[in-house]
Amino acid sequence: MREFYQGPPVAGQYRHAHSEPIRWILVKPLPHFIFYLGPVLTMPLGAWLAIRPGGTLLKSISRKTRFLLLVCGITGIGLILPVYIPPAHYSAMLTAAIYAIVLQGMRYLHLWKWNGQATGLFLVRAVPMVCLTLLPIRAAAGRLHIPVPVTVIHTSYTEDVHNTERAQVLRQLGREPGRHLVIVYYRPHHDVLREWVFNAADINGSKVVWARDMGAVQNKELISYFKDRYVWSLEADEKPPKLSPYSLVERDPTSFAHLKARTPDFK
């Protein structure tokens, strides 16, 4: 927890905001822009601003659209006030307004003609076609072996930072008989965003309980409290993470008789 608040996730953002406030303010809308619009949905908005069907930018924006822009603008100001960069879901309440503005831009764009040809209509039709083409490709990216970057910025073409390896360990232990205690070991420079230790609200009633390594003495106290559980050690920063029976527990060694030391298959 200390590393999270004193490290890059929190204190690092504060240092950036303090040293480069203008640049930091300009960066904050970027995750929201990428998540809700991206290059495909930006195209009709950019074309709308470029052609200005009403002659001027102000005339091309209807009164209802101005209200939507006002709502987005005021909310956007609120989103840039915090020191940290707010995630995209912080602006979820603007979803309807954002896409209403996009549709309004497409509405104006489809009337545009260039050299007598319905160029605007072609562009408007191209937007949903591109989206429908990209959707199955993105959904099947794993099976098609298409590399998908992992980022902390939520987009339709990247993956979030998820600890899928923890889920696989949890699934493996869930298939084993009895209840389990997993003591997790981190290396000094462990990525704090890849957390392993969190539990359900009913810790004592959980089939698997997770705990950080606290040293041999305190680990023994924890093991004594959960004396009816099989105890495991997990090297979280190994590639792949290594799960094995805890070796320092002072209990009947036959308690691990049916659970041989093994490394889970993380493929």
For the chain, the domains span 1-144, 164-247
Cβ neighbours, 10 Å, residue 36: 20
Judged by DSSP in three states, 159 sits in: strand
In the predicted structure, residue 255 carries a pLDDT above the cut 50: no
Per-residue model confidence as pLDDT tens digits over 24-75: 888 888 888 888 998 888 888 887 777 765 556 666 678 888 899 999 999 9
In the predicted structure, residue 254 carries a pLDDT above the cut 60: no
Q: What is the pLDDT of residue 98?
A: 93
Q: What is the pLDDT of residue 57?
A: 63
Cβ neighbours, 10 Å, residue 128: 11
Phi and psi, residue 78, nearest 5°? -65, -35
Q: What is the pLDDT of residue 239?
A: 84
Does residue 52 come out as left (phi exceeding 0), alpha (psi in the -120 to 50 range) or beta?
A: left
The model's pTM? 0.68
Angle, helices 95-109/119-139, rounded to nearest 10 degrees: 140
In the predicted structure, residue 251 carries a pLDDT above the cut 60: no
Q: pLDDT band at 109, cuts 50/70/90?
A: confident
Per-residue model confidence as pLDDT tens digits over 186-241: 888 887 778 899 898 999 999 999 999 988 889 889 999 998 899 999 998 888 88
Angstrom distance (rounded) from CA 267 to CA 263? 12
Per-residue model confidence as pLDDT tens digits over 113-137: 888 888 888 888 999 999 899 889 8
In the predicted structure, residue 93 carries a pLDDT above the cut 50: yes
Q: pLDDT band at 258, cuts 50/70/90?
A: very low
In the predicted structure, residue 150 carries a pLDDT above the cut 80: no
